[in-house]
Amino acid sequence: MASHRKSRPTGTRVAGIRTPALATAALTSVALLSQTANATPSDDRPTLEEVEKKVDDLYRQAGSATEKYNAAKEKTSKQRKKVDTLLDDVAQRTQKLNDAREELGSFASAQYRTGASVPETATLLLADSPQDYFDQNQLMNRLTGRQKTAVDDYVTQQSETMKKRREATESLQTLTDSQTDLKTAKSTVQKKLATARELLSELTAEEKARLAAIEKRKQQEAARKAAELAKQQEAQEAERKRQEEAAQQESGAGSGSSGTSGGTGSSDSSTPDASNGTKAEKAIAFARAQIGKPYVWGATGPGSYDCSGLTQAAWKAAGVTLPRVTYDQVNAGTTVSVSQAQPGDLVFFYDDISHVGLYIGDGMMIHAPKPGAYVREESIFYDGESSIHSVVRPG
């Protein structure tokens, strides 16, 4: 195939110049199919393995950006509610301020009709700080009790209204910042996914088949690791039961000789809790019912989910409220080792904690993997053992 291939000029590529789609696809295919010893060191075109890694990295980065999007969306929603509440409060206080001003106006009108103290009252109503005038004993002595109350109310309402207006202004700025973060995160996700799709679209049918074969080998290795963990946990459970039985026998013997009863009184994170177990079963049942639904970034159901949206919804079905995003969910329980993971636990992935799945036992989990995929059961080692960040037991 290489013998009749036309030579092409060498040299550096100019940044920003894109070859036509057909030519790019052809060149990429040649590069990907030429992963043999005769490849020259100067050939900087990506190998199939490099394409796979790049796509995986892009999906992972998109997942991280998705969690930032989720956090910004949640913050925006909370801030909008706070702003609405503050604006309602300002409106109510402004009305009270107007009522107090009208009452003072009625006093001024009465004074005008009687011809008493007109200058002082007019000055009072036009002043930037009316309290400065009321601090004077001469004017204060002229006010009746009702008038003094009206003045105090006016000053209080004026101060409170100004304070709430400042709070509303600051909250509106925070809301604007949150909306900007939301747009930025959304744009980042879209760009990462578009780049990944473009890379995959340039592969030939043969290259896609080879990529699928690589993925299958990864899945087989992940299944093997899951089976190893299942055996390890089975052995741990058998040992735990053996120790419990031994402790019960010892307790029974002691009770028979002394007439008292007792127990070990010890427990650890690997010991199943009946209450938590029931909730975990409900969470798993909910997650299992979502299998086959598409991953959609930012989605929380019921028709589609992202990773943290699924785990949040699953535990909500069990009566437990989890935060929205992965890096908050990771702090919503007790951290345990992978070997101590129990059904219902949350398994987090990557250093930036950008992915999460619901552990169902035997080294397996239910999760919403990535764009283009569907909620499914999969080994927790699907991306290698090193990708597991931590395991957390909610509650």
Local structure of 374: helix, strand or coil: strand
Residue-wise DSSP of 134-190: HTSHHHHHHS-HHHHHHHHHHHHHHHHHHHHHHHHHHHHHHHHHHHHHHHHHHHHHH
Residue-wise DSSP of 322-364: --SSHHHHTTSEEEE-GGG--TT-EEEETTTT-EEEEEEETTE
Task: Indicate if 367 belongs to the active site.
Answer: yes
Q: Which of 355, 370, 389, 393 is catalytic?
A: 355
Q: Which of 51, 307, 330, 356 is catalytic?
A: 307
Phi-psi group of 275: left, alpha or beta (phi > 0 → left; psi -120 to 50 → alpha; rest → beta)? alpha
Strands 376-379 and 346-349 come out as unpaired
3-state secondary structure string across 47-105: CHHHHHHHHHHHHHHHHHHHHHHHHHHHHHHHHHHHHHHHHHHHHHHHHHHHHHHHHHH
Check: CB of residue 391 under 8 Å from CB of residue 337. Answer: yes
Q: Which of 164, 367, 389, 393 is catalytic?
A: 367
Residue at 225: amino acid letter: K
Active site residues: 307, 355, 367
